Amino acid sequence: MRQYSEKVIDHFKNPRNMGSIPDADGIGSVGNPVCGDMMTIYIKVRDNIITDCKFETFGCVAAIASSSMTTELIKNKTLDEALKITNKSVVSELKGLPPAKVHCSVLAEQAIKAAIDDYKSRI
């Protein structure tokens, strides 16, 4: 049985910022075909600051917790600050992930970058 931190379990059972933003300024969708996890992050940007963000994730406990934590980490950050958030930042804030689940935090990092790239391509 995998051992998850209390923080991972909390973000899984009580995800923050779950849902979509219909008029999002940027959308980043990524997936891992091996495990089947799919993650989409939506961002609203005003004056170079991520003022709102939401996520939709189809995946395991670690994928949902990573998505939830990621939205908490990027909210109210500048785009440059959000781009500095790495999978290691997500794992650290979640108080660790089992080695076999670290790829979920990598998806979260990729989704942030994809959402910001999408936003930049629209302006």
What CATH number has the domain spanning 6-122? 3.90.1010.10
Q: Which residues are catalytic, by number?
A: 35, 104
> Which are the contacts of 22, defined by CB distance < 8 A and separation ≥ 6?
none
Q: What is the distance between the alpha carbons of residues 108 and 86, in angstroms, rounded to a whole number? A: 8
pTM of the model: 0.93
For the chain, list residues with pLDDT below 70: 1-2
pLDDT at position 40 is 97
Q: Which letter does DSSP use for residue 95 in this model?
A: T
- How far is CA 33 from its chain centroid? 18
